[in-house]
Amino acid sequence: MVQIAGICRDLNWPDGLRGEVIQEIEQEQRILDRASKKGRGLTFGYLLAILLLASTTVLILAVPEGVLAWFIVAFVLYSFNFIILFLPTTRKGKRDESCRRTIGRDAWAPVKFLLKKKTKLAIEVGLTMFLGGMVPLALSFFLIFGLGLVLTFYFAFFEGVLDTEVAWLVIVQMVTILVFFVVILLTQPQAQGFTRIARAFKGRYDRARGKGRLSQSAMLLAMGLVAAGLAILFVGAILLTGGVLSRVIEVGGELRLSILLVLVVFVVQIVVMRHFQVVSSQRMARALLEVRLETLRKEVLEPLSAILEQGKYADKETFDKAEFERIKTTFFNVVIYGVFELNFFGFSPVYVVGPNVKFLIDDRVLPYVGGV
């Protein structure tokens, strides 16, 4: 048995929901205030990252086999970047601990409901956690793989040091990963982009269905091609990286690549990755929280306060139930995800988007979320 923060208020009563809304607004405002502050040593971080990239490039030009170390570390960090999310987090935001919920057998009821009745939402939550966590890493890997591509072309096609077969394997894999990151940035999984895309496709499909069988078939074909293209890109960027990495390690072993050189490159890339992850995640958090707070204030809190001020809730049969249901739908679809800060002993804060567990395990909330 474990306990987590729960929801004590009566969500079926305007005043109870209003208290929950105010609490969420205050919490998100605190996170926004922290994300808006200029981080300590940010300028130094930029200078250090640029210096390390420049000096490592010079080192690799002097020791050509070092390009293999760059490939190995880049693919390893890309494949296991999620480990950085498990670094110790010691600075935690203020939380309402007045209500605790015991997680035992009863907690499985909403989870089962989510998996059986809200399968699309369950898939979206998983994709949001996985792909949303990669959004702040896009800039880092654009730099790391971008430099890797330049070095590959130089050593393979100008110096002739790198085997062309290996070079093309690396080029194709790196380009696939970079395209994958571009698609992630365009879909914006951290801002429930998958839901918006699904709604857009559903709207187009409904319109096409109304125009006849030919339009409906053409729309289904287009949707199938998009899905197939994304699936191929996902497989290429995620599942095939290990094979390319194994081939690069094999070549490195044949050339007796220095472990010390690999360690030096590892330190350089981890510093570069973390610095630009911090910068990008702060920018992402600010943009996302500003939109969320505006929605919570204007589309949830204001109309909810209006219901209370009208005095129509004197008994449970007289307040505007239709408007109240709309407000709850808007609110829960926003807060089902939260923005969380992860830091390294209070330093180098990274902001990520993930499911807001207290809402996700509440069977009063789930019926309102996940609709397409």
pLDDT digit string, tens, across residues 252-302? 888 888 999 999 999 999 999 999 999 999 999 999 999 999 999 999 999
> Structure pTM?
0.83
Q: CA 222, CA 272: separation in Å to the nearest integer?
A: 39
What is the sign of the dihedral through the CA atoms of 122, 286, 296 and 3? positive
| Torsion angles phi and psi, residue 345, rounded to 5 | 55, 40
pLDDT at position 102: 53
Could you tell me what percent of the chain has a pLDDT over 70? 84
Mean pLDDT comparison of 98-112, 152-166, 211-225, highest-scoring range: 152-166
Asked whether 124 and 194 are in contact (CB, 8 A), the reply is: yes
Over residues 310-349, the pLDDT tens digits come to 765 555 556 778 888 899 999 998 998 889 888 876 677 8
Asked whether 340 and 354 are in contact (CB, 8 A), the reply is: yes
Contacts of 351 (CB under 8 A, 6+ apart): 31, 35, 136, 281, 282, 284, 285, 339, 340, 341, 342
The arithmetic mean of pLDDT across residues 84-111, rounded, is 54
Q: CA 211, CA 64: separation in Å to the nearest integer?
A: 61
Mean of the per-residue pLDDT values of the chain: 83
Asked whether 245 and 76 are in contact (CB, 8 A), the reply is: yes
Whether 167 shows a pLDDT value over 80: the answer reads yes
The arithmetic mean of pLDDT across residues 124-140, rounded, is 86
Least confident of 99-113, 205-219, 344-358: 99-113
Q: CA 355, CA 350: separation in Å to the nearest integer?
A: 16
| Torsion angles phi and psi, residue 338, rounded to 5 | -130, 160
